Amino acid sequence: MKNLIKIAIAAFVLGLPAISIACDYPERPRLPNGGTAAKEDMIAAQSSVKAFLAAVDDYLNCIEKQEKDAIATLDNPDEETLKRRDELLSKRFDAANEEKFLFGEQWNLEVRAYNARRSADKSE
């Protein structure tokens, strides 16, 4: 019986990397300095910002599906287990959404700096 438990634990632990590979968090793109960047750099960055935000949404959909699939494989989970898993998923969602917000704010600061520089250049 002990060997069976050890085998089950080993199979679970070895299966974790495969599960985590399915939902990789996207890499945050590098933003240009709005105070010095060329127009082409800002346009390219805008595309990468949109792609990153969409990739975070894809990541959120992936982890939600992954969690639903994982719960479906559990044999009669108790309420405490379901609650704990839901709390962990909520924390992952909150962290990703916070990252989206902060990244969007950082992008907006760079855009404002770029626009301010362009306005100053035009007035000279």
pLDDT in tens, 97-108: 999 999 999 999
In order of 13, 31, 32, 50, 117, the CA distances from 44 in angstroms are: 41, 10, 9, 10, 18
Report the C-alpha gap between 100 and 34 in whole angstroms: 19
pLDDT recorded at residue 94: 97
**Domain ranges (residues) in the chain:** 2-123
Q: Which residue has the higher pLDDT, 96 or 16?
A: 96
pLDDT recorded at residue 17: 46
Q: What is the pLDDT of residues 43-65, one digit of tens each?
A: 999 999 999 999 999 999 999 99
User: Structure pTM?
Assistant: 0.75
